[in-house]
Amino acid sequence: MNARSLILTCSLAALLMLTAVGRVCAADLNGPFDAANKLYAEGKYAAAADGYEQAIRQAQAAGVASPVLYFNAGNAEFKLGHLGRAIAAYRQAALLTPRDSEVLGNLAFVRNQVQGATVRPSPWQSWVGSLSFNEGTCLTAGFFWLTFILLGLKQIWPALAPRLRGITQIIICATVLSGAVLAVQSYSHFRGQTAVVTDANAMALSGPYKDAVNAFALHDGAELSVLDRHDDWLQVTDGSGRIGWLPGNQLELLPGA
Amino acid sequence: MLLALVAGCFCWGWTASAITFTATLDRNSIAVGETATLSLTFQDGAPDGTPALPPIDGLDIAYEGPSTQTSFVFNGATTENTSTTTHNFAVTAKKPGTYQIPALSIEINGVRLSSQPLTLTVTGSGAPTAEEMNNGSQVAFVKLVLPKKEMYVGETAVAELQIWLRDDVINFGNLQLPNLTADGFNLGKMSMRPRSRAQAGNRLYTIAPVAITVTAIKSGTLTLGPLTAQMTIVLAFNGQNGDPLQRFFNQGERKDITLNSDTYNVQGLNLPPNAPAGFTGAIGRFQMNVAEGPTTVNAGDPITLHVRIQGSGALDTVKMPDLSGWNGFKIYPASAKTESSDGQGLEGTKTFEEIVTPQNADVRAIPAFSFAYFDPERRQYQTLSQAAVPIVVHAAGALPMPSATTTVKTTDNPAAPADILPVKQDLGPVIATGTPLLLRPGFLAWQSLPVLAFLAALIWRRRTDSLANNPRLRRQRAVVQLVQAGMADLRKFAGENNSEQFFATLFRLLQEQLGERLDCPASAITESVVDDRLATLKAQPATLAALRELFQLCNQARYAPVRDPQELAAVAAKFETAARELQALKV
């Protein structure tokens, strides 16, 4: 294999990798989606929310997800006054399409309705979160490939080395930076977990059992960081540093720190 | 006030067997507000349940629980076993008088036992008379003051317990209020109020007031007190009270005292009937202020109502006016904040924050609503009304999209729009979920490709550079290729029986191969180098012999060039073998 055929092979591999994010046909979801939209337009928000939920489950069973389904489900839940469920749905949509301005706009609007202490992403977390986890992975992989392609070109055509030096250094820096971002994303994706309160009368307790002393009250829609688990109970902390235990049925869990 | 210990009034019950039943009081005379203990004692038997006592007007009787004692007495060869069960009752006197606790009759094991009646004398509270309080003869006393003689059920007022201390009391402390009898009242928060001074007779007194929140809970005669206060006072010695120096150097005489207040009766009144709509139990005098905003909104936008209710009365009982009948609005639960100005929660402001959202553009106004309360001074219900407030509601989709949603890119905190954006009508692409790319083995395997490609390029570069810097190696590889190509020519010439070209090529190949091995020009190679120099490379004798033979054949061919093809092929094979052996030599 000569050098030119090697480059061609590598380029094809990179192209295949970057287009590997699966996008499948959504024809099967259109029926329940349209039906739920019709119920929403008629003001039947509860039925619409059920319809969106059913479509989301159908998509999950098929191994796919639709950000639009989550977005519309969030709207229906908000119309029902379920701030926590609406926030959870918008955040699921934002995980799939992190730069969708409509999703971000509605999420910000509903978050503003929530009372009491809540955990909000820091500026750097928001910046890192502007890429989905798979997007961050592909970006890092792309820079990684470019780095080694450039290094390989310098070996094959040493005469190009002076001209490639600047771009190579830039690409290496970009690889390191995107790798660091990916590391943060990985930690957040696999280790961090947040929860949204979906119960209007949630009360954090001092321990993971029903007879524990009340610790503090939580409002519907409050976002919490999950610290620990014990059976069906979750130890959480709110934005003001208070720590308590809540049963899992009063929360909706979401990935991310 | 110390009460004398009273001998028990033992009333031995009759029994046909060894079972006995006794009713006793720990004392037969107490003051109002004090508690005596009634004990029902059963020996060698006990009733199945708790003995029941009849209610006695003027006494509060509360069951405290049983106790059991078993004793064994050794009497020569026999042992007597005695079991005693006692049921205790707390008897608290509410008003003075002589009370008869009737004979009690209880059946145990089919045998009916009876006790004798008991008499309990309840004296006054021990409070000094009005004359004693006003002439300055008392070192200390307490007064119970309630500003009202009539209270409506649910009305809350502040009673004041005034502790009066004469000027010869130079200090006091350890105040305890163990008993405050209240019939028809709920007692609430207690707090100390600032002290003041007053004159009674020809003596000065310091007044230490304690405020107590009381709420009437029934109609009829309500009784507050008597109250017992226990405290320690320090009395000045004679002549000490007027001299500050003596007060400083002399600590005085410490004395523990018990003070009793008189009772205070209030008439409890029922609220008038026909309470107005919106009355939720607030009693007092109130004012209401309402602020609302914004008044121009999109359908679904929140409007915040600040309802501020200010005045005197139990603020805890003040509730947000009922808005449940509003059509076209979504009503969220209101939050409330109470700011009390008197420390007792009876004066101040309670502010409700209510968020309502108009659901459609047909809503034209925030409806009127009202807050009703009962004014105990005017003895009538009052209603505070808030008029309807016009508002402008736009349809949610009629306004242009909020700028925040059209300009948001990847900002950290996107600005909140004025309303949620409508649902999307196009499902759009669906995205495959499942294992993240980073965890897929195939994806990770792909990432090794650029590394391997780079390593391949690196190795290739190293080999190229190595060849470029080593001319003997380069010549060696060139000669190998030349010999391979020359072998094809030799076979070709052998097949064509072209002995002239065959031996010319053979001689040239011998020169090239030997020249490369001996690192000298090919033109300088003759048969003589086989013996002179090739032997130093430790070539096999057979190889050397074959090379000599090949050189000789080349020389003979110049004079006798004609040979048959088989001979030429054999010569070519011999050269190939010799060349391979030469190439294997280490130089």
Report which residue type is found at B290.
V
| Residue B412 belongs to a domain | no
User: What are residue B91's DSSP bridge partners?
Assistant: B36, B61
Q: Do A29 and B427 touch (CB under 8 A)?
A: yes
Mean pLDDT of B41-48: 85
Chain A residue at shortest CA distance from B403: A105
Question: b/e map of B157-183 (b: 16 or more CB within 10 Å)?
Answer: bbbebbbbbbbbbbebeeeebebbbbb
Domain boundary (A113, A129, A157) is at: A113
Tokens linked to B566:
């088989």
Same domain, B290 and B261: no
pTM over 0.80: no
- The reply to whether B219 falls in a domain is yes
| pLDDT given for residue B404 in this prediction | 33
| Residues in a beta bridge with A204 | A216
What pLDDT does residue A143 have? Answer: 95
Each residue's pLDDT tens digit, B519-571: 888 888 888 887 778 777 778 888 888 988 899 888 888 777 667 888 889 99
Chain A CB contacts of B446 below 8 Å: 13, 16-17, 141
Chain-chain contact of B434 with A63 (C-beta, under 8 angstroms): yes
Residue at a domain's end among A64, A92, A113: A113
Dihedral sign for Cα A239, A240, A244, A250, please.
Answer: negative
Is the same domain home to B138 and B249?
A: yes
Contact B420 A109 (CB under 8 A): yes
Q: Taking 90 as the threshold, does the pLDDT of residue A51 lie above it?
A: yes
CA distance B219 to chain A (A): 37
Average pLDDT rounded to a whole number, residues A4-20: 49
Does some domain include residue A15?
no
**Confidence band for B7, pLDDT divided at 50, 70 and 90:** very low
* Chain A residues touching B464 at Cβ < 8 A: none
- Separation of alpha carbons B396 and A79, rounded Å: 12
Detail the DSSP E strand segments found in chain A. 23-24, 64-65, 193-197, 203-205, 214-217, 223-230, 233-237, 243-247, 251-255
Q: Is A138 on the interface with B (CB under 8 A)?
A: yes
* In a domain? residue B347: yes
- B290 inside domain: yes
Q: Report in angstroms the alpha-carbon separations of B518 from A256, B102, B261, B319, B515.
A: 73, 143, 135, 114, 5
Nearest CA in chain B to A16: B446
pLDDT of residue B411 exceeding 60: no
Residue A130 covered by a domain? no
Q: In terms of domains, do B352 and B377 share one? A: yes
Task: Tell me whether residues A60 and B433 touch, CB distance under 8 A.
Answer: yes
Answer with the one of B81, B105, B123 that is the final residue of a domain. Answer: B123
Residues B284 and B253 in one domain: no
A151 within some domain: no
Residue B64: predicted pLDDT: 86
> Is A137 within the bounds of a domain?
no
Residue A102 to residue B302, Cβ atoms within 8 A: no
Say if A109 is an interface residue toward chain B (CB within 8 Å).
yes
- Mean pLDDT within B246-274: 79
What is the count of residue pairs from A and B with beta carbons less than 8 Å apart? Answer: 178
Residue B468: list chain A partners with CB under 8 A: none
Could you tell me whether strands A223-230 and A193-197 are parallel, antiparallel, or unpaired per DSSP bridges? antiparallel
Q: Is B318 exposed, middle or buried (0-12, 13-18, 19+ CB in 10 A)?
A: buried
Chain A nearest-CA residue for B422: A75
pLDDT tens figures, B78-127: 667 788 889 999 888 877 888 988 888 888 888 888 888 899 988 776 67
Distance CA B545, CA A93 (A): 87
Residue A64 reports pLDDT greater than 60: yes
Tell me whether B584 touches chain A (CB under 8 Å): no
One domain, residues B101 and B180: no
Q: B424 contacts in A (CB within 8 Å)?
A: 68, 71-72, 102
Regarding whether B265 and B284 lie in a shared domain, the answer is no
pLDDT at B244: 60
For chain B, the domain total comes to: 4
- Chain B: give the shortest CA distance to residue A57, in Å: 13
Burial B217-253 (b: 16+ CB within 10 A, else e): beeeebbbbbbbbebebbbbeeebbeeeeebeeeebe
CA-nearest residue to B359 within chain A is A79
Of the candidates B431, B453, B456, the beta carbon closest to that of A65 is on B431
Residue B172 to residue A49: CA distance in whole angstroms: 69
Q: What share of chain B is helix, strand, coil (3-state, %, to 5)?
A: 25, 40, 35
Task: Please state, in angstroms and as integers, the Cα–Cα distance from residue B349 to each residue in A160, B281, B284, B376, B381, following that order.
Answer: 81, 17, 13, 19, 20
Residue B6, pLDDT > 70, answer no
> Which chain B positions have a beta carbon within 8 Å of A126's beta carbon?
411-413
Query: Per-residue pLDDT averaged across B364-384, rounded?
Result: 90
The ipTM value here is: 0.80
pLDDT > 70: percent of chain B: 88
Task: Return the CA Rg of chain A.
Answer: 23
The alpha carbon of residue B535 is apart from the nearest alpha carbon of chain A, in Å, by: 41
Cα–Cα distance for residue pair B376/B364, rounded to 1 Å: 38
The residue-averaged pLDDT of B192-200 equals 86
Please name the residues in contact with A142: beta carbons below 8 A apart, sequence gap of 6 or more.
A14, A18
B442 found inside a domain: no
Helix H or strand E encompassing B512: helix B499-518
**A55 belongs to a structural domain:** yes
Q: Is A33 on the interface with B (CB under 8 A)?
A: yes
Which CATH number do you get for residue B217? 2.60.40
- A148–B335 CB contact, under 8 Å: no
Measure in Å the smallest separation between the Cα of A242 and chain B Cα atoms. Answer: 21
B426 touches chain A (CB under 8 A): yes
| Domain-terminating residue out of B68, B91, B123 | B123
Paired with B355 in beta bridges are B304
Looking at the structure, tell me whether residues B263 and B146 fall in a common domain. yes
Q: Is the dihedral of CA A139, A143, A144, A146 positive or negative?
A: positive
> Which domain-ending residue is among A113, A148, A168?
A113
- A218 interfaces chain B, CB cutoff of 8 Å: no
Across B314-457, where does the E strand assignment appear?
329-331, 335-340, 347-358, 365-366, 369-375, 380-386, 389-390, 392-394, 430-432
Q: Cβ of B330 under 8 Å from any chain A Cβ?
A: yes
Domain boundary among B100, B123, B146: B123
Residue B433, in any domain of the structure: no
Q: What are residue B372's DSSP bridge partners?
A: B279, B383
- A42 reaches B (C-beta below 8 A): no
Which of A17, A66, A148 minimises the CB distance to B427?
A66
- Domain membership of residue A34 (yes or no) is yes
Query: How many angstroms separate the CA of residue B292 from the nearest CA in chain A?
Result: 17
Domain with B196, as residue range(s), is 130-269
Q: Which domain holds residue A222?
A: 193-255
Report the residue of chain B nearest A71, measured CA to CA: B423
Whether residue B198 contacts residue B207, with contact meaning beta carbons closer than 8 Å, is answered with yes
Is the CB of A133 less than 8 angstroms away from the CB of B432? Answer: no
Q: Answer whether A126 touches B (CB < 8 Å).
A: yes
pLDDT number for residue B161: 85
Q: What's the confidence (pLDDT) of residue B231? A: 84
Question: Using a CB-CB distance cutoff of 8 angstroms, which residues of chain B are in contact with residue A64?
Answer: 430-433
Q: What is the CATH number of the domain that holds A103?
A: 1.25.40.10
Q: A15 to chain B: nearest residue by CA?
A: B446
Residue at B407 is within a domain: no
For residue A106, being part of any structural domain is answered with yes
Q: What is the pLDDT of residue B562?
A: 63
B389 and B283 in a single domain? The answer is: yes
Looking at residue B53, what DSSP letter applies? -
B147 falls within a domain: yes
Q: Which one has a higher pLDDT value, A199 or B394?
A: A199
- The count of other CB atoms within 10 Å of the CB of residue A52 is 30
What single-letter amino acid sits at B456? A
d(CA A199, CA A58): 25
Query: How many domains does chain A divide into?
Result: 2
Q: Are residues B150 and B181 in the same domain?
A: yes
Closest partner residue to A64 among B415, B432, B449, by Cβ?
B432
Task: Say yes or no: B376 and B482 in one domain.
Answer: no
pLDDT of residue B4: 37
Residue A197 domain flag = yes
Q: Mutate which of A15, A21, A34, A109 to test chain B, going by most B C-beta atoms within 10 A?
A: A109
Residues B503 and B537 in one domain: yes
**Best mutation site among A71, A78, A104 for testing chain B: the one with the most B CBs within 10 Å?**
A104
Question: What does the pLDDT read at residue B125?
Answer: 64
* Residue predicted with more confidence, B364 or A46: A46
Query: What is the distance between the alpha carbons of residues A147 and A160, in angstroms, rounded to a whole number?
Result: 15
Q: Is the domain of B536 the same as that of B557?
A: yes
- What pLDDT score does B251 carry? 65
The answer, yes or no, to whether residue B454 has pLDDT greater than 90, is yes
Q: Which residue on chain B is closest to A94 by alpha carbon?
A: B410
The CATH number given to whatever domain includes residue A224 is: 2.30.30.40
Beta-sheet pairing, A23-24 with A214-217: unpaired
